[in-house]
């Protein structure tokens, strides 16, 4: 898993402002028969795997840990505020 430098800078700012301990990736149900990955700020849960990726603390739900290897979190500042996108996941056939 990777976090781009631009995403890292935006995340560090948000984590400071929100006084959040880190980023958390979690199982968000199924879409087209494949697990969906959700992303939020917050505390790790008891069975999460903890990682530091490009200086960002990331808790990963064990149910999706095998899916994050090719994942890249990209971020950019927009007129509406910071926007983040996860890329590198396999395309789903729906």
Q: Is residue 68 part of a domain?
A: yes
Token pair of 88 as six digits: 């590198």
Question: Given a cut of 80, is residue 90 above it in pLDDT?
Answer: no
Give 24-35 pLDDT, tens digit per residue: 999 999 888 778
More confident residue, 72 or 30: 72
Question: Given a cut of 80, is residue 93 above it in pLDDT?
Answer: no
Q: What is the CATH number of the domain that holds 34?
A: 2.60.300.12
Q: Which domain holds residue 47?
A: 2-87
pLDDT, residue 26, reads: 96
This prediction's pTM: 0.89
How many domains does the structure of the chain reveal?
A: 1
Q: Is residue 92 part of a domain?
A: no
Question: Given a cut of 70, is residue 92 above it in pLDDT?
Answer: no
Q: Is residue 67 part of a domain?
A: yes
Map residue 70 onto helix, strand or coil: coil
């Amino acid at each position: 898993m990777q976090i781009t430098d631009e995403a890292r800078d935006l995340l560090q700012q948000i984590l400071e402002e929100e006084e959040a301990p880190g980023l958390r990736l979690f199982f968000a149900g199924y879409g087209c028969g494949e697990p969906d990955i959700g992303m939020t700020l917050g505390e790790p849960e008891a069975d999460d795997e903890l990682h530091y990726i490009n200086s960002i603390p990331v808790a990963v739900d064990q149910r999706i840990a095998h899916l994050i290897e090719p994942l890249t979190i990209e971020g950019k500042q927009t007129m509406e505020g910071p926007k983040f996108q996860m890329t590198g996941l396999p395309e789903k056939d729906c």
